[in-house]
Amino acid sequence: MPNSHPSAALPDVAPVLDLLIPGLKSALQKQLVGIYLYGSLIAGDFDAGISDIDLVVVLKEELDDRRFQDLQQLHARIIDAHPQWLDRLELAYISQAGLRDFRQRASTIGIISPGEAFHRLQAGRDWLISWRQLREDGIALHGPGIETLLGPISTDEYLAAVKEHIGAYRDFLQSETSKRDLSYVVLTVARGVYTVRHRRAASKRIAAEWAKRCFPKWSGLIDKAWIWRQYPPCDGIAEEQILARAAACVADMLSQVNAGTSRKRQ
């Protein structure tokens, strides 16, 4: 891959993309419109051994059964060749019309993501946060620039979607929540609150450090959430010992989501 590519400095990323991109071209052929890399690898927030590779694959039409099965086999071959990427590939397959008209109607997309096997679902306005990130930061690995396929998404529209998204986590933490999921919820809410308060997104690390300063009562818990992101069993603390504090932390952060712009900016 060219040295200017974001994965050039990450030796473990380039080999899987070098196998995946030609595989997508072969499996999809004339149905393929474009392949777009976005997410932590582009935002400079990528953690080796933890972060996912995020790709959106735009098609001329929605996935039919044959191509769905071909892609399922491709994903399996990729993981057989690179087992360290098991549960760390996040690919969304959407039609050109579905991406263009996502506000007006839902369309069927194919999705493989951490914790979920390859499947199809309906995606519409509920994908606005992902499409905003794709529109702002996405890099074409194949095909035209993403701005030719996806129109602008305003900051106000984006922030409203972020508020709705993180608000859904208020009652998410339950007795069966794992440390890894607990970590995800705490850090996602912290990042969402940062985004709303500053009217711009930030990396997980920047948002976590800001949240520790803005919510000092929860700084220790946020530190634990960061550690559990990679090493959930490391400290011998059981989920039930921390669950109530995590739920209180999330509720506290969410209660501030509509507060004025923070004085503590990065």
What are the extents of the domains in the chain?
6-152, 156-255
CA–CA distances in Å: residue 106 to residues 10, 95, 124: 36, 11, 4
**Is the pLDDT assigned to residue 8 strictly greater than 70?**
no
pLDDT digits 0-9 by tens, 12-67: 788 999 999 999 999 999 999 999 999 888 877 787 778 889 999 999 999 999 99
How far apart, in whole angstroms, are the C-alpha atoms of residue 35 and residue 20? 10
How far apart, in whole angstroms, are the C-alpha atoms of residue 214 and residue 256? 10
Q: What is the pLDDT of residue 261?
A: 43
Q: Band of the pLDDT at 7, cuts 50, 70, 90?
A: low
**Is the pLDDT assigned to residue 263 strictly greater than 60?**
no
Q: What is the pLDDT of residue 249?
A: 95
Backbone angles phi, psi at 141, to 5 degrees: -90, -20
**Is the pLDDT assigned to residue 262 strictly greater than 50?**
no
Q: Average the pLDDT over each of 1-5, 68-72, 115-119 and give the range with the smallest value.
A: 1-5
pLDDT digits 0-9 by tens, 134-156: 999 999 999 999 999 999 999 99
Average pLDDT, rounded, for the chain: 89
pLDDT digits 0-9 by tens, 80-121: 999 999 989 999 999 999 999 999 999 999 999 988 999 999
Q: What is the pLDDT of residue 9?
A: 46
Q: What is the pLDDT of residue 228?
A: 87
**Is the pLDDT assigned to residue 265 strictly greater than 70?**
no
**Is the pLDDT assigned to residue 197 strictly greater than 70?**
yes
CATH topology (fold) of 6-152 = Beta Polymerase; domain 2 (3.30.460)
Q: What is the pLDDT of residue 175?
A: 67
Q: What is the pLDDT of residue 31?
A: 97
CA–CA distances in Å: residue 185 to residues 68, 116, 125, 222: 31, 17, 22, 11
Q: Band of the pLDDT at 10, cuts 50, 70, 90?
A: low
Q: What is the pLDDT of residue 114?
A: 85
Backbone angles phi, psi at 57, to 5 degrees: -115, 120
Buried b (16+ CB within 10 A) or exposed e, 187-203: bbbbbbbbbbbbeebbb
Tokens of 108: 């069927």
- Partnered with residue 184 across adjacent β-strands are none
Residue identified by tokens 């952060």 is 253
Q: What percent of the chain has pLDDT over 70?
A: 89
Nearest to 183 by CA among 219, 235, 225: 225
Q: What is the mean pLDDT of residues 234-263?
A: 78
Q: What percent of the chain has pLDDT over 90?
A: 70
How far apart, in whole angstroms, are the C-alpha atoms of residue 99 and residue 245? 39
**Is the pLDDT assigned to residue 264 strictly greater than 50?**
no
